[in-house]
Amino acid sequence: MRIEILHSVEEARAILDEAANLFRVCFNRELDRWRWSQLYFLNPYGPPLVTLGYSDEGELIGHSGMIPQKLVDASGREYDYSLSISLMVDPRRREGFATFYTLFSAATSAARERGVPFLLAFPNANSYLLIKHGFGWRDLVESRLYDWCPEQPGPTTASVVALERFRLGDEIGHPFDATYRQWRSYDCPYRAEVVNDRLALIYKLADDRILTVLDAQTDHPDSVTHDLGALLAHTGATRVRMSGVHARALGFDLATLSQHGDYRLRLCYAPLTAEPPTMRFSLLLSDVF
State yes or no: pLDDT of 159 exceeds 80. Answer: yes
> Can you give the CATH number for the domain in which 93 is found?
3.40.630.30
State yes or no: pLDDT of 154 exceeds 70. Answer: no
Same domain, 131 and 270: yes
pLDDT tens profile 192-222: 999 999 999 999 998 789 999 999 999 999 9
Distant-in-sequence, close-in-space partners of 248: CB < 8 Å, separation ≥ 6: 254
State yes or no: pLDDT of 4 exceeds 90. Answer: yes
Q: What is the pLDDT of residue 7?
A: 98
Same domain, 233 and 275: no
The rounded Cα 225 to chain-centroid distance in angstroms is 26
Dist CA 254 CA 146 (whole Å) = 8
Q: What is the pLDDT of residue 217?
A: 97
The number of domains in the chain is 2
pLDDT tens profile 100-141: 999 999 999 999 999 999 999 999 998 999 999 999 999 999
- Backbone phi, then psi, for 98, in 5-degree steps? -65, -45
Same domain, 106 and 121: yes
Same domain, 6 and 138: yes
Same domain, 126 and 182: no
Host domain of residue 181:
145-262
Same domain, 11 and 108: yes
Average pLDDT, integer, range 76-102:
94
Same domain, 249 and 272: no
